[in-house]
Chain A
Amino acid sequence: MITNAILILLLPLLAFTIQIFIGKRLPRKGDWVSTGAMFLAFFLAVPILIQALSSYDPNFKITQSWEWINFGAVNVTFGIHIDNLTAIMLIVVTLISSLIHLYSIGYMHDDPRYNRYFAYLSIFSFSMLGLILVDGFFGIYIFWELVGLSSYLLIGFWFEKNSAANAAKKAFITNRIGDVAMFAGILIIFTTLGVFNFEEVFRGIADGQLSGGLLTAAGILIFMGAVGKSAQFPLHVWLPDAMEGPTPVSALIHAATMVAAGVYMVGRTFVIYTADALLVIAYIGTITAFMAATIALVQKDIKRVLAYSTVSQLGFMMVGLGTGGYTAGLFHLITHAFFKALLFLGSGSVIHAVHSQEMDDMGGLRKKMPITFWTFLIGTLAISGVPPFSGFWSKDAILASALEFGMVNPTHMVIFVVTLLAAGMTGFYMLRAVYLTFGGEPRDKKKFDHAHESPLVMTIPLCVLALFAVGTIWWGWLEHLLTKPELSSYASSGVQVLEAGGGHPDVAHTAHKIAMFSSIAIAGLGILLSTLVYHWKKISAEAWGRRLKPIYTLFWNKYYFDELYGATVIAGTLFISKISSLFDMKVIDGFVNAVARITTRFAFGNGRFDIKIIDGMVNLVARVIGFFGAQLRTIQTGRVQNYILMALAAVVILFIIQQF
């Protein structure tokens, strides 16, 4: 199984390497390399899931780790950790990713950078699979960043468009903010416990080596990473802009890879969150779910509606996790992955047909694109929480968990109420999208005439995903396999650990009943309202929009978050960078230039000293020697007789000297 896991991880990396270097020269520009690698990874993931299912044990686990960095005291291992969650996520990611690869063959067929697109898809899948498989904070952080990078590459894939380049930048920077917090959280854990491995960290926390405020801080900081990656309030702004990427990429980001990473990470590290940290998670999730749902109510771009619905659904997941509904949150992550991929690919199919993302240009497409319509409708029903589709089961579980939490802690009942409202709005805006896109009369006749059903390579993934949006195949075994992990199970014996919540079976039972009826009711209400407004036209959307002008404007402008960040964070950053650049130019550069000038001056002086004094001395010696040489050469006449005369004179002189 470990071999399978390693192969699953390395296959997309291999595909990426092949694609990036020789993809252009391969037949069909190598789309089959990436797609094949993903399908192969999927088929390798199946036995892992089968093993997990056949053991049917909540504690099913396969791990293997290798020593990676050893500094004596610091020993970092890198390993693979497979449990039920990993096994299921592997299937989800590989299946959705392969279907999106397949779909992309149709969607991207005439793109000039076709091979590079598939290379990026592969590296994206590789990053996400690595994130799922690793067994420690260190590894998860590496793949976390890789996910960020590959999403940047894909969102900015059509970088010729200014908006796409900006969106990529925005996504990357917004994510970085969360990542820095997450890094700080990891450092808190590492400095106190000295290990990165999940199990060892959990054990250390269970033994009380890290607790209280510091643990809460670490939990919230790590959750901030998920806030960035899973587009939670207040870092949700990048996700709707990420629509600038190709639609299959949006599907991948929204369903299987990027945004799932945050929720998955919170689920993976669930036991480190204290009650306070969980409360923060729950409230952030609530705010996100509600706010994004209200924005989605008024958007006109079909992909934007879906984007805000993703943000909202991610909020639901966080509510689930934050209120102690571990299973519920992760369950929603999995079901959402499938129906959101379905919805995005469906919208991609529509966009491919009418060459527009504005719902004002669509309408009446039901007859033209029956497969897309029916699969899209299934996805819509699933996300709205209509039984028996998958979204109903998972959202119901989240609402039940929120309600249970509210019943145990009545002050936090607001979480349930607001989440329920958001659930109702989900039904409304999704049905609105369906009516505006597929129902009624075509609003743009020319585009309607041009529209056609997408090729098989695009519709087959839709059908497969639609199958998974039917909920009954999920519930039951999933609930059993993804049992909420308890911190106490990691503790060495004898250490008492405080319970974070849960453990009220009677309350849970009541909560579940109420939640089920209320969620069906609110979803039905939302759908009914939507039908009244957009199908039967009993209520005029325009009139209500005018009547509630301020609220409509607020929603339409997405609560002015972009403007707010633009005026505060971005303007502030620009201001600081301007000051810094000024400081750099005037002070630092001035200092450097002054040093340079002094050096040149000094060098000039030095040079003159060298030329005048040192060289002068040397020349003087030479000249003195030359002078005497010139004097002496006159003796050297070359005439033999002179020499003899001189020798004679010398003898005479010697003779005279000897006499005295």
Chain B
Amino acid sequence: MTVGLEHYLVLSAALFSLGLLAVITKKNAVTVLMGIELILNAANINFVAFARFIDTDLDGQIFAIFVIVTAAASAAVALAIVLNLYERLHSINLEEADSLAG
């Protein structure tokens, strides 16, 4: 059996769903960040897979690399935010970060 585009897409969708589940359900901010990383990587798999099977130039791969770079940068920012959150609330439980409640 050859590995086709569908397999990649299914993997990517599964990965995305897992990431989304983590983002929505986890209370720990760091776990949520990890979920976001999963989502980003699901997108990266899509990029690469589509680049490989549909459009044969290197655009998709380059985009994936960009995403990795920006994900690293945003992870740094997000962790800084989490640190600040911890400093204020002495907790990184997202349930408690609700001061913008209406």
Contacts and interface: CB of A to CB of B under 8 A. Distances in A.
Interface of A: 632-641, 644-645, 648
Contacts, number: 33
B87 interface: no
A644 B39 CA distance: 13
Give me the 10 closest cross-chain CB pairs, A-B, nearest first.
A636-B102, A638-B101, A638-B98, A633-B102, A638-B100, A639-B98, A637-B101, A645-B24, A641-B24, A644-B24
A640 B102 contact: no
Contacts of A635: 102
Given A638-B99, A641-B94, 13 more contacts: A632-B102, A635-B102, A636-B100, A636-B101, A636-B102, A637-B101, A638-B97, A639-B94, A639-B95, A639-B97, A640-B94, A641-B23, A644-B23
17 contacts: A633-B102, A634-B102, A636-B100, A637-B98, A637-B102, A638-B97, A638-B98, A638-B99, A639-B94, A639-B95, A640-B97, A641-B23, A641-B24, A641-B25, A644-B24, A645-B24, A648-B20
Nearest to B98: A638
A625 to B, nearest CB: 15
B32 interface: yes
Nearest to A636: B102
A384 to B, nearest CB: 117
B95 to A, nearest CB: 7
Contacts of B97: 638-640
A641 B26 CA distance: 9
A640 B97 CA distance: 8
A643 B34 CA distance: 18
B: interface residue count bin: 10 to 19
Nearest to A639: B98
A17 B81 CA distance: 91
B102 A648 contact: no
Contacts of A640: 94, 97
Contacts of B98: 637-639
A638 B20 CA distance: 19
Given A639-B94, A639-B95, A648 B24 contact: yes
A639 B24 CA distance: 10
Which of A637, A641, A644, A648 has most B Cβ within 10 Å? A641
A585 to B, nearest CB: 68
Nearest to A645: B24
A644 B95 CA distance: 13
Interface in B75-102: 94-95, 97-102
B72 to A, nearest CB: 21
A122 B77 CA distance: 102
Contacts of B100: 636, 638
Given A648-B20, A648-B24, A641 B32 contact: yes
Nearest to B26: A641
A635 B102 CA distance: 8
A360 B97 CA distance: 119
Contacts of A636: 100-102
A639 B95 CA distance: 6
Contacts of A648: 20, 24
